[in-house]
Amino acid sequence: MKKLLDLLSEEVGAAFEKAGYAKELGKVAVSNRPDLCEYQCNGSLAGAKQYKKAPIMIANDVAECLKESSAFEKVEVCPPGFLNLNLDGDYLKNFLNDMAKEEKFGLEAPSKKLKVIVDYGGPNVAKPLHVGHLRSAVIGESVKRIIRYMGHEAIGDIHLGDWGLQMGLIIAELKLRKPELPYFDEAFEGEYPEEAPFTISELEEIYPFASKKSKEDSDEGRAFKEDAMECTFKLQSGVRGYRALWKHILNVSVTDLKRNYDNLNVSFDLWKGESDVHDLIPGMVQYLKDGGYAYYSEGALVVDVKEETDTKEMPPCMILKSDGASLYNTTDLATIMDRMKNYHPDRMIYLTDKRQSLYFEQVFRCARKTKLVDEDTDLIHIGFGTVNGKDGTAFKTRDGGVQRLEYLIRDINEEMFKKISEGREMTEEEAKQTAKLVSLAAIKYGDLSNQPSKDYIFDIERFSSFEGDTGPYLLYTVVRIKSILKKYATQKLSEEGLEADEKAVSEALNKMVDITNGLHKSESESEKKLCMQLATFNAMMESAYEELAPNRICAYLYDLANAFNAFYHETKILSEEDEEKKLGYLRLLKFVQIVMESCMDVLGFSAPEKM
């Protein structure tokens, strides 16, 4: 279905043409003087030179021709030649009624269905998730859902950091603590135990401990680091016991990660990691050498990625270190190669902290130059800003440490539980479930409502407020609508002497309030505003997709919620006596509800029944 602004532009363009001017001049935009009109067209000013005519004359000619148009209830010419326009109520009603009949409210399916890999999350095995991991997960999940909602295929890949030095550090430390384990006995030929020799808590204690030790400026520290590097090397070259131990680390860690991401309503199609492409590296290195792309510089194998037009420093992309070890780049390039072979995506989108921007630029250039990707494969990095505390520096716990994501979410849930339990009639279980949904919306909306590249302040008090530009405010609006609708259905059922339990009410609602049965023409200013906001859905979703910007959807939702609440406060809905008119209102409410819920689903959170 066409976008409202495009339809209006066609309408005005036709009038320009009819009056003898170019139809391209008829571009309509939302008015920047909402006190004067809803839309405007400035084409007469643009055409003045070309037609050697005063803009006001052109505007008058066009306005004359617009008299026949059914799209506008008001066409006003304003000096020096603006066309001020107000939308016709019936035209708006018809637009919305068409929109209501479409599955995705008028969003058009793409002409070509693309396959997109979204690389997000990116946690490192055995390191607990902290608040810094939130953005990649939350924005990435939403970007994936936006792509799917548009009608493309999106594959989410977590790209675990599971192959580097952190693995060697853990193995080296385990070797010190539990030297009796069979994994360290090179003569051992039997089956290794199925049970991991550690729990997730032990693992999470071991990693920071070992990492700290390896950085110590002492003989012990240096020797330990040496050993950890050796362990990494042995693991990567396939020493049996080390591989078996690594598998345990991976399994224990992935089980825990899955639980954490589940709590965030984030899920991945692929749980691949850096380790998965290890065996592809020698072949890729050979290919890069054979193609004449890679050369040795001071012992390291590199590919130049500088371009003549560069104004900033662009170091070469390093493929192998001088000791022959592979790097972060190497696994990323091999992953690109692997993805091209197995999925052949049209695009790959990466979500990380923006401090990795230069890194991705190097990797992308290298992949392009060496033809690891096709010419038309899109490689995109979405670099996001930092999560800051109220003091404007990176978010920390009260004692200055790194806050574990799990505890942070748990604390927010508990606060929300208290808030929701107070003065509301709910069982404890219901309040818990509700608190979980509301806190998730608070956290996700707090993040997603910002432009991804900007830093933001993690202000949980503000995010959790039921008023203002927050997730809970949006949920509250949806809950309010649901409760009005339910009240209506309950009344109807009891009037007929029927039982009104939850199931009966929801079934009755589906029958009685069907948005495809049509809305009425708006009668009040606030109702029209609400309808106009609703009508921009397809245009909004399209630009959220084009810009890969969940914040667009957030802004739309907030405006829609405000428009709804303004309408609600000045309209008698359930007490409306004219039954037909009441039904029209209820359909509008339901329409707002389902559009809001669809948007929320694309953002990755949902509304409870009550709150």
Nearer to ligand ARG by Cβ, of 133 and 528: the residue is 133
Taking Cα atoms as reference points, which of 580, 595, 420, 609 lies closest to residue 502? 609
Nearer to ligand ARG by Cβ, of 303 and 475: the residue is 303
Q: Compute the least distance from the CB of residue 227 to ligand ARG, in Å.
A: 24
Rounded CA separation 466/474 (Å): 8
Rounded CA separation 88/175 (Å): 77
Q: Compute the least distance from the CB of residue 164 to ligand ARG, in Å.
A: 9
**Phi, psi of 456, rounded to the nearest 5 degrees:** -145, 160
Q: Compute the least distance from the CB of residue 511 to ligand ARG, in Å.
A: 49
Nearer to ligand ARG by Cβ, of 299 and 315: the residue is 315
According to the binding rule CB under 6 A, does residue 345 interact with ligand ARG? Answer: no
Taking Cα atoms as reference points, which of 125, 366, 161 lies closest to residue 277? 161
Between residue 401 and residue 440, which ones bind ligand ARG under the rule CB under 6 A? none
Report which residue type is found at 298. E
According to the binding rule CB under 6 A, does residue 161 interact with ligand ARG? Answer: yes
Q: Compute the least distance from the CB of residue 283 to ligand ARG, in Å.
A: 19
Which member of 166, 329, 330, 352 binds ligand ARG (CB under 6 A)?
A: 352
According to the binding rule CB under 6 A, does residue 332 interact with ligand ARG? Answer: yes
According to the binding rule CB under 6 A, does residue 119 interact with ligand ARG? Answer: yes
Which member of 9, 44, 84, 124 binds ligand ARG (CB under 6 A)?
A: 124
Q: Compute the least distance from the CB of residue 328 to ligand ARG, in Å.
A: 7
Binding letters toward ligand ARG, positions 502-531, x by CB under 6 A: ------------------------------
**Phi, psi of 234, rounded to the nearest 5 degrees:** -65, -40
Considering only the stretches 117-125, 166-174, 369-377, 385-393, report the one whose residues sit in contact with ligand ARG under the rule CB under 6 A: 117-125
Taking Cα atoms as reference points, which of 88, 84, 64 lies closest to residue 16? 64
Q: Compute the least distance from the CB of residue 232 to ligand ARG, in Å.
A: 16
Which two tokens mark 539? Answer: 């245009």
According to the binding rule CB under 6 A, does residue 159 interact with ligand ARG? Answer: yes
Q: Compute the least distance from the CB of residue 158 to ligand ARG, in Å.
A: 9
Q: Compute the least distance from the CB of residue 331 to ligand ARG, in Å.
A: 8
Q: Compute the least distance from the CB of residue 457 to ligand ARG, in Å.
A: 23
Calculate the dihedral angle through the C-alpha atoms of 70, 74, 78, 84, rounding to the nearest 10 degrees: -70
What DSSP string describes 148-216? Answer: HHTT-EEEEE--BB-SSHHHHHHHHHHHHH-TTSGGG-TT--SPPPSS-SS-HHHHHHHHHHHHHHHH-
Nearer to ligand ARG by Cβ, of 332 and 447: the residue is 332
Nearer to ligand ARG by Cβ, of 11 and 119: the residue is 119
According to the binding rule CB under 6 A, does residue 551 interact with ligand ARG? Answer: no
Considering only the stretches 61-69, 88-96, 119-127, 176-184, report the one whose residues sit in contact with ligand ARG under the rule CB under 6 A: 119-127
Nearer to ligand ARG by Cβ, of 119 and 527: the residue is 119
According to the binding rule CB under 6 A, does residue 587 interact with ligand ARG? Answer: no
Rounded CA separation 346/153 (Å): 10
Taking Cα atoms as reference points, which of 30, 8, 1 lies closest to residue 97? 1
Distant-in-sequence, close-in-space partners of 404: CB < 8 Å, separation ≥ 6: 128, 129, 130
Nearer to ligand ARG by Cβ, of 236 and 470: the residue is 236
Which member of 82, 350, 476, 564 binds ligand ARG (CB under 6 A)?
A: 350
Rounded CA separation 89/106 (Å): 19
According to the binding rule CB under 6 A, does residue 122 interact with ligand ARG? Answer: yes
Beta-bridged to residue 383, according to DSSP, are 352
Binding-site size for ligand ARG (CB under 6 A) equals: 8
Residue 88 zone, left/alpha/beta (φ > 0; ψ -120 to 50; rest): beta
Nearer to ligand ARG by Cβ, of 270 and 566: the residue is 270
Rounded CA separation 544/534 (Å): 16
In the bound state, the residue with its beta carbon closest to ligand ARG is 122
Nearer to ligand ARG by Cβ, of 330 and 477: the residue is 330
The CB density around residue 226, as the number of other CB atoms within 10 Å, is 12
Rounded CA separation 178/10 (Å): 76
Which two tokens mark 97? Answer: 């009624």
Considering only the stretches 34-42, 118-126, 317-325, 428-436, report the one whose residues sit in contact with ligand ARG under the rule CB under 6 A: 118-126
Report which residue type is found at 580. E
Contact positions vs ligand ARG (CB under 6 A): 119, 122, 124, 159, 161, 332, 350, 352
